[in-house]
Amino acid sequence: MKLFTSISLLLLTGGSAALTVREVQDGQTGVLMVLPPRQTDTGSKPIPDPAHPYIAPGPNDQRGPCPAMNTLANHGYVSRNGITTFEEMILAGQEAFNMDQNLIAGMIVPNFLAHGNLFTNKISIGGISPFVPPLPGNIDGPATLGIAKHGRVEGDASLSRSDAFIGDNRNFNQTIWNTNLEEISQFAVDGPDGPNTVVNVQTFIEIKRQNIESDQALNPQFAMPLRRYNAVFAAPAVALGQVFFLVNPTAGVTNRNFDTSLFSNGTTNLLTKNILNSFFEHQTFPAHWFRASAPVVAATTGAFNAEIAAGLPQWFPGHNDENGVFVADPPAPAPFNTSIACGAYWDQIVNGTPGSLANATGILKQNVDLLNGILFAGSKCSQSVEPAGPTYV
Ligand SMILES: *[C@@H]1O[C@H](CO)[C@@H](O)[C@H](O)[C@H]1NC(C)=O
Ligand SMILES: *[C@@H]1O[C@H](CO)[C@@H](O)[C@H](O)[C@H]1NC(C)=O
Ligand SMILES: *[C@@H]1O[C@H](CO)[C@@H](O)[C@H](O)[C@H]1NC(C)=O
Ligand SMILES: *[C@@H]1O[C@H](CO)[C@@H](O)[C@H](O)[C@H]1NC(C)=O
């Protein structure tokens, strides 16, 4: 590995001086990541704005397993080629979905740690791209694989993608989606678009029941490890789309206070079949759609996540054994066994993040520490851990 660090002194007007450190490794220039501030304008508004029209992706543009991220790219809220940065994703999630900074950061960070280039601050929302080089020194293999790569974050029991073992885990699967639509036609409640069109918590419990049961039976390698279990039930920590199924309860059968959600129409607080089809099938904002009227916060999405999980108590962190029987994974070691959220943090860093990052120096080290710190802050754990997962996977 070649490491050149050149220090240039920039003399600024007015006599003040700034010291900039330029770090180059393997011909790549390091970029220090920064957590952008919270947006100040947090009300509802029509999305997309005129500056962000839908343009279908071209043949070389990257798209992947996350419908929301694909939608952001199809509208240019992140780069239309599907290669983006930490800051660009945070700003896009805030602007287009009114996501609170913590919520969007908690979803992006595991993906960046798992399959982004944390030195150049680039990630593909799909697969391998010439615009995202391998980490300097190939410390995690000869390519940076992107968020579609199965295993560290991307996983089984998706709402709209096949398990990697079964088929295409990257692109929308109409067969799977049709089974969701059947559940919606049965369990959704009546609304402005007609009978059985407004999706609520119970609808999602039924959809997830169907998804998980089907994948567990069809996929001998079916797995929901701790870091994935939360995501399957809409954890804000992992960006896989399930979180977008959080429905405003005022629309549903339950009687609770108003909570904002990502996909609900911000003016009616309703999540409808039409809206879901737009995001999932077409990866575009619905016509006449408004973002939430207040920031969507992790506490809300976490509460829904827990509610959906509680509706399916027969499913827990686990995997299929050699006989195709679903068995529990061992719990996280103490002191990381105090909550699912803490266990998921531990599992993500210790098993889902390349251990070679623990030896990083300079800008790479600062970026790893920033992202690990963000995940730790949202984890409810009493102590942090260092990356220790397998490399080249
Ligand atoms: C779509 O899902 C169905 C049902 O699980 C599966 O049989 C099929 O192989 C999947 N298609 C692709 C392209 O993965
Ligand atoms: C959102 O609500 C507004 C106000 O009721 C309505 O005009 C619009 O059609 C709705 N949009 C969607 C996508 O449901
Ligand atoms: C965590 O693990 C320790 C050691 O095995 C055990 O004593 C403790 O009861 C566990 N805590 C929880 C909340 O399960
Ligand atoms: C970190 O570096 C040390 C010393 O070179 C080495 O022994 C260790 O295996 C490295 N750890 C990882 C996870 O790469």
Shortest-distance atom of ligand 1 to CA 218: 5
How many percent of the chain have pLDDT more than 70? 88
How many percent of the chain have pLDDT more than 90? 72
Query: Which residues are paired to 46 by β-bridges?
Result: 290
- Residue minimizing CA distance to atom 8 of ligand 3: 334
Q: Is the pLDDT of residue 59 over 80?
A: yes
Could you give the CA distance from residue 156 to residue 162 in angstroms, rounded to a whole number? 8
Q: Delimit the domains of the chain by residue range.
A: 1-30, 31-379
Query: Which residues are paired to 189 by β-bridges?
Result: 198
Burial of residue 334 (number of CB atoms within 10 Å: 0-12, 13-18, 19+):
exposed
Could you give the CA distance from residue 40 to residue 181 in angstroms, rounded to a whole number? 37
Contacts of 186 (CB under 8 A, 6+ apart): 196, 206
Taking only the tens place, the pLDDT of each residue in 143-196 is 999 999 999 999 999 999 999 999 999 999 999 999 999 999 999 888 899 999
Average pLDDT (248-259) is 43
Pocket of ligand 3 contains residue 337 by CB under 6 Å: yes
Pocket of ligand 4 contains residue 361 by CB under 6 Å: no
Q: Is the pLDDT of residue 239 over 70?
A: no
The pLDDT, as a whole number, for residue 248 is 42
Ligand nearest to the CA of 359: 4
Query: Which residues are paired to 20 by β-bridges?
Result: 8
Q: Is the pLDDT of residue 9 over 70?
A: no
Shortest-distance atom of ligand 1 to CA 174: 1
Q: Is the pLDDT of residue 139 over 60?
A: yes
Ligand nearest to the CA of 211: 1
The pLDDT, as a whole number, for residue 301 is 76
Which range has the worst mean pLDDT, 153-157, 298-302, 343-347?
298-302
Shortest-distance atom of ligand 1 to CA 214: 5
Contact 57, 74 (CB under 8 A): yes
Read off the DSSP letter of residue 336: S
Q: Which residue has the higher pLDDT, 336 or 16?
A: 336
Confidence of residue 234 (pLDDT cuts 50, 70, 90): low
Q: Is the pLDDT of residue 71 over 90?
A: yes
Ligand nearest to the CA of 342: 3
Q: Which residue has the higher pLDDT, 88 or 9?
A: 88
The amino acid occupying position 306 is: A
Ligand nearest to the CA of 285: 2
Shortest-distance atom of ligand 4 to CA 358: 13
Structure tokens given for 211: 């998804």
Taking only the tens place, the pLDDT of each residue in 77-116 is 999 999 999 999 999 999 999 999 998 999 999 999 999 9
Extract the runs of DSSP E, i.e. beta strands, from the chain: 3-11, 17-25, 28-29, 83-84, 123-124, 189-191, 194-198, 223-224, 318-320, 326-328
Pocket of ligand 1 contains residue 49 by CB under 6 Å: no
- Cis before 295? omega within 30: no
Pocket of ligand 4 contains residue 390 by CB under 6 Å: no
Could you give the CA distance from residue 157 to residue 163 in angstroms, rounded to a whole number? 7
Query: Which residues are paired to 6 by β-bridges?
Result: 22
> Any idea which fold 31-379 has?
Chloroperoxidase (1.10.489)
Spacing, Cα 334 to ligand 1 middle (Å): 39
The pLDDT, as a whole number, for residue 282 is 97
Containing 229, the helix (H) or strand (E) segment is helix 226-232
Confidence of residue 11 (pLDDT cuts 50, 70, 90): very low
Pocket of ligand 4 contains residue 356 by CB under 6 Å: yes
Nearest Cα to Cα of residue 251 among 296, 188, 297: 188
Nearest Cα to Cα of residue 111 among 172, 154, 64, 61: 154
The pLDDT, as a whole number, for residue 303 is 73
Output the average pLDDT for the chain. Answer: 88
Ligand nearest to the CA of 137: 4
Burial of residue 258 (number of CB atoms within 10 Å: 0-12, 13-18, 19+):
exposed
Shortest-distance atom of ligand 3 to CA 338: 13
Q: Is the pLDDT of residue 16 over 60?
A: no
The pLDDT, as a whole number, for residue 260 is 66
Pocket of ligand 4 contains residue 355 by CB under 6 Å: yes
The pLDDT, as a whole number, for residue 20 is 65
Task: Give Cα separations from 207 to 124, 160, 204, 221, 391 (angstroms).
Answer: 29, 11, 5, 21, 34
The pLDDT, as a whole number, for residue 300 is 74
Spacing, Cα 16 to ligand 2 middle (Å): 54
Pocket of ligand 4 contains residue 286 by CB under 6 Å: no
Confidence of residue 371 (pLDDT cuts 50, 70, 90): very high
- Residue minimizing CA distance to atom 11 of ligand 1: 167
Ligand 3 pocket mutation, candidates 316, 337, 338, criterion most atoms within 8 A of CB? 337
Could you give the CA distance from residue 73 to residue 302 in angstroms, rounded to a whole number? 26
288 Ramachandran zone, left/alpha/beta (phi>0; psi -120 to 50): left
Q: Which residue has the higher pLDDT, 38 or 21?
A: 38
3-class DSSP state of 139? strand
Q: Is the pLDDT of residue 311 over 70?
A: yes
Report the chain's terminal Cα–Cα distance, integer Å: 21
Pocket of ligand 3 contains residue 330 by CB under 6 Å: no
Q: Has this prediction a pTM greater than 0.85?
A: yes
